[in-house]
Structure 1
Amino acid sequence: MDAPLDRAKLLAARYAAAEARPYLASALYALTVVPSPGPSGVRTMGVDRHWRCYVAPEFVARTPVPELSGVWIHEVAHLLRDHHGRADRLPPADQRDPVRINIAQDCEINDDLLADGLVLPAGRMEPGLFGLPKGGMFEGYLPGIPPTPPHAVDCGSGAHGGPAPWELGGCGGDGTAGIGPVEAEALRRQTAQAVRAHLRARGRGSVPAGWERWAEQVLEPAVDWRRALSGAVREAAAWAAGAVDYTYRRPSRRTPALGGRVVLPSLRRPLPRVAVVIDTSGSMGDAELAAALAEVTGVLREVGVGGNRVTVLACDADVHAVSRVASAGEVTLAGGGGTDMRVGIAAALARPDRPSIVVVLTDGITPWPEESPSCRLIAALIGEGAPNPPGWVETVRLDPADLGRRPDR
């Protein structure tokens, strides 16, 4: 007969974990305990996608409270770091080996937990066991984990994404329904905010670096700026191309049907023209500018805007060079003084070939026009600390560390 679950010991371990790491308390107490005894149950502890924590009574009985506290934090880390969601985005070939995924995920978590002084049971997975460096993400560890390794690791669908045989399924009964994805995401954000508050109160180093990085990613997620810039320019180009007008230079094809008595105009669909205003003030580096301009001209080519329809203006507090270009290598970056991108925008709009799209490459330390001009205006901001332009300016933030490097395809 299976031993009953020592719930008092298990909950005492959770209380100790929450007391020692208060920024994880909300997430720890959100877990629903599900006893999982017998040979068909979980071997130690595991979690599913619904934040249900399955517990083997015999594991609780033989494990000291400090180690149980570490396991509580280990299991909730799988859910907070959205390991099952990230596993769902892996290539199909990797998804077929959930044990390998689980080991890589355990390496990501245990690395931080051990550095934080937590005690974990013997047999834990660490990056060093596979010759891998510390501080990585499980996606980076996965290629270094051998296929079908001989380790009986199974933290459940809340980790590797695949359903475990001891899980209840979508809706558990008897108060074990768990929580849904919306509430789970709210818990992640609440926990990330608690991590940030703890850092502000206690200072840097009071939270393991892995948790700090995770919180920043949750609260300020990275954006694929190349895709965002391409989407903004593509949308603006489609908007400009849709601005049809009537012209008498080419009569309508219906004119002959009227016997020549009336000449009807035809519809004209203008090709979008683009102006790129480059901030060449003293605060901008030439290498970053050249790389950023190469990205913009590459985006323009991708959306079908190029050749003599792209004008580049180098501007600090005045416009120094204007050129019509087909590639970034034809641009002259002149300037180096103060900063006023209003001058460059006004000069672009005053040209005979008035653009329908203006892209401004800047660090954002500039005044902006008081109202939206009669064109689509896109600010491509270089640098993490670039201040936001007015709300009516379409804004894309470029990562200076990634400029000039093509993304993996």
Structure 2
Amino acid sequence: MELDSPSLERASSRVEPGVPAEARAERPADAGRVLDRTKLLAARLKAAGSQPYLASALYSLTVVPSYGVPSMGVDRHWRCYVNPAFVDATPVFELAAVWVHEVAHLLRDHHGRAGLLAPELRHDHHRINIAQDCEINDDISALPSNALRPSMFDLPDGRMFEQYLPGIPPSRHQPECGSGAHGHRMPWEVSDAARVSPVEAAAIRRQTANEMRAHAKARGRIPAGWRRWADEILEPTVDWRRALTGAVREAASWASGAVDYTYQRPSRRGSAVPRVVFPSLRRPMPRVAVVVDTSGSMGDGELRAVLGEVAGVLRTVGIGRNRVTVLSCDADVHAVRRANTVGDVVLEGGGGTDMRVGIEQAMRTQERPHIIIVLTDGYTPWPESRPGNVRVIAGVVGEGADPPPSWIETVTIPLDQVSAGQH
């Protein structure tokens, strides 16, 4: 968490015992003080006292003094890096709020969720960090006035960072909460301090969620963001991005396992039999057709957002864009083209809805696909049976429509999460 503080430039010749060697090497000659652990831990005690349901998580953090971190930051192993000069310059009540802020990144699994973003978004960890701070800070009242909040970007409170991200412009703000937030390892993060394993982290999250629910029943005072988070932990819904990635990955593995014979590369066994050419076995690279529902019930912004997610999923699975064909379809097929980027896709249509014609057209393309992905709101008739030996995956945007046939692998895409996919 980045906070301005002139005290970060205070000079001191004392060396803090226990500071990692790499942190000491990176420390400016005129910066730093001995870490005031009494003040820092008093702030943690205050944070745990004001929000007792966070106590288990707060006390799971390992404190690591660091002159490289601007203020406080966390890595994905639940180490909390603290600049001693920042502790000196910050009142205890604000330090308590920063403790809550940093542990929130870990409890909400921000680094894990950041890894699910489209590749073109993942590299900009400053924008991701800003969006994550907006998700957290609207539930924390004691933070300093310059802490990042949704209102600074004309965004509403109460949303997830994936929803905030498209509305975050390039900014002069440079928050740095560490790999525990945005997933990028920072130079001041070390590897020899105590760590919390992923299994232990999952247990901490569940314990914290149970304590929140118990606290809400007894006192009824839980910030809305934390209440929503606890409900998701205790009654989880399937993340559609993970489900879609898993479905495409499994279908791609299935397709690439369908070996066939080819004479383009003769078998090496043929050398043992003169004048006889033996075929070799080949493992095909999957081809994908994406049928996009462009009927009047589907919004253009929603379509492009979901299409951007699918493009990211295909890249993650390793299917190159030269293997992907996109078809725009309502009651008829309006555009068929090989798509290099989402911007190349022509979304034409706006009439009725019949995804059967899109699937049939995909099967008639020159290079028959191994996988067909259909993006639709679900209000469409479907083929009566699987089209040949082809896997069909339906990404159904929104709820209310009748489910596709059982032979279609279906992933439900909630409307309120669509905006997180494309910027």
Distance in structure 1 (CA, Å) of the matches to 2:385 and 2:66: 55
Measure how far apart 1:224 and its partner are.
6.3
Distance in structure 2 (CA, Å) of the matches to 1:225 and 1:83: 17
Distance in structure 1 (CA, Å) of the matches to 2:84 and 2:378: 58
What's 2:197 paired with? Answer: 180
For the pair 1:126 / 2:153, whether they are aligned, the reply is: no
Q: Which of 219, 222, 236 matches 1:207?
A: 222
Distance in structure 2 (CA, Å) of the matches to 1:95 and 1:181: 21
- Secondary structure, aligned partner of 2:181: coil
Change (3 A) 1:43 1:398: closer
What's 2:172 paired with? Answer: 150
- Secondary structure, aligned partner of 1:46: strand
1:20-63: CA deviations, max 9, x gaps?
Answer: 101000000000000002xxx10100000000000000000010
Code of the aligned partner of 1:222: T
Code of the aligned partner of 1:57: P
What's 1:195 paired with? Answer: 212
Structure 1 segments unaligned to the other structure (5+ residues): 232-293, 306-359, 362-377, 379-395
Runs of 4+ off more than 3 Å: 224-228, 294-305, 396-399
What's 1:65 paired with? Answer: 92
Measure how far apart 1:301 and its partner are.
4.9
> What does 1:336-355 align with in structure 2 at a 5 Å threshold?
none
Measure how far apart 1:121 and its partner are.
2.4
Change (3 A) 1:300 1:69: farther
Change (3 A) 1:397 1:8: same
> What does 1:9-408 align with in structure 2 at a 5 Å threshold?
9-37=39-67, 41-114=68-141, 119-147=142-170, 149-168=171-190, 171-172=191-192, 176-203=193-220, 206-223=221-238, 301=384, 303=386
TM-score with structure 2 setting the length? 0.52
Distance in structure 2 (CA, Å) of the matches to 1:225 and 1:302: 25
1:124-159: CA deviations, max 9, x gaps?
Answer: 101111111111111111111113x21121000000
Change (3 A) 1:188 1:301: farther
Measure how far apart 1:211 and its partner are.
0.2
Distance in structure 2 (CA, Å) of the matches to 1:159 and 1:31: 14
Measure how far apart 1:304 and its partner are.
5.5
Distance in structure 2 (CA, Å) of the matches to 1:75 and 1:99: 16
Measure how far apart 1:297 and its partner are.
8.3
Measure how far apart 1:221 and its partner are.
1.0
Report percent identity of matched pairs.
58
Distance in structure 2 (CA, Å) of the matches to 1:126 and 1:154: 15
Change (3 A) 1:220 1:34: same
Structure with higher Rg: it is 1
TM-score with structure 1 setting the length? 0.54
Change (3 A) 1:296 1:105: same
Distance in structure 2 (CA, Å) of the matches to 1:82 and 1:299: 38
What's 1:258 paired with? Answer: none
Change (3 A) 1:137 1:302: farther
Code of the aligned partner of 2:41: L
- Secondary structure, aligned partner of 1:193: helix
Distance in structure 1 (CA, Å) of the matches to 2:385 and 2:55: 48
Distance in structure 1 (CA, Å) of the matches to 2:114 and 2:216: 29
Aligned residues: 253
- Secondary structure, aligned partner of 2:140: helix
Distance in structure 1 (CA, Å) of the matches to 2:195 and 2:239: 33
Distance in structure 1 (CA, Å) of the matches to 2:239 and 2:71: 39
**RCO higher in 1 or 2 (8 Å CA, sep ≥ 6)?**
2
Q: Alpha carbon RMSD of aligned pairs, Å?
A: 4.1
Change (3 A) 1:94 1:202: same
Code of the aligned partner of 2:227: E
Structure 2 segments unaligned to the other structure (5+ residues): 1-12, 14-31, 248-376, 389-401
Measure how far apart 1:295 and its partner are.
5.4
